[in-house]
Copies of this chain bind each other. A is one copy, B any other.
Amino acid sequence: MPKVTVEHRTARHDQIVSAARRCAIEQGFHKTTMADVIRESGLSAGAVYGYFKSKDELVSAIADQALSSVDELFEGILASDQPLTPLAALRATLEHVVEIAEQPGGDVTRVALQAWAEAMHNDAIAGIAREKYSLLRHKFAEVARRAQADGTVDADVDPEYIAQVMFALIPGFLLQRLLLGDVTPKTFATGLTALLK
């Protein structure tokens, strides 16, 4: 009974989060009502509130997910021993971002923007964002360190500073992609190559 229940709970949980995410992608956190989520999830109000104590909690869950999605990539990339230049790391990241964005079910990166805005006056989300993005930036710092070891990048500079710049390109790319719609990993990498050279 416990195993069935746990799986069941997880399934329901995901059912709700997915529904809520779909809503948030289309309408943003604030225009999304609990009634929307309830309808979209196919459950009842009581059921949804059995899994999330409040709209805030549900929003945090979606935000968490959206802010985490870029991160996963690095596990694979950094593990390998092959040389990883900053340019290559960035290009891989951008391609990963686009892959995520184009997954069926809607562009989750739109939710990331919502989360950034929300973090300005929602401590829970601000905390999540800080945590996730610190982690991500540390991974860029690791890439920077490798480049410094290779002699490709000036070893005197704090790798965290280099990571700041590398990291910055991700939201910058995302924003242009969503707002202006004319950037692709390819155009971006091309521009980047020209500048770095």
Chain A interface (Cβ < 8 Å from any Cβ of B): 26-31, 86, 110, 113-114, 116-121, 126, 129-130, 133-134, 137, 153-154, 157-158, 160-173, 175-176, 178-180, 182-183, 187-188, 190-197
Q: CA–CA, A10 to B193, complex, Å? A: 47
Check B176 against A172 for contact (C-beta < 8 Å): no
Check A120 against B114 for contact (C-beta < 8 Å): yes
Check B121 against A28 for contact (C-beta < 8 Å): yes
Check A191 against B164 for contact (C-beta < 8 Å): yes
Q: Which of B126, B172, B180 sits near A179, CB closer than 8 Å? A: B126
Number of copies: 4
Binding site secondary structure of chain A: helix
Residue of B nearest to A122 (CB): B28
Residue of B nearest to A175 (CB): B171
Chain B nearest CB from A173 CB (Å) reads: 5
Check B161 against A188 for contact (C-beta < 8 Å): yes
Q: Which of B114, B161, B166 sits near A190, CB closer than 8 Å? A: B161
5 cross-chain pairs, A with B, having the tightest CB-CB distances, nearest first: A168-B172, A161-B191, A117-B117, A157-B194, A172-B172
Q: CA–CA, A171 to B27, complex, Å? A: 22
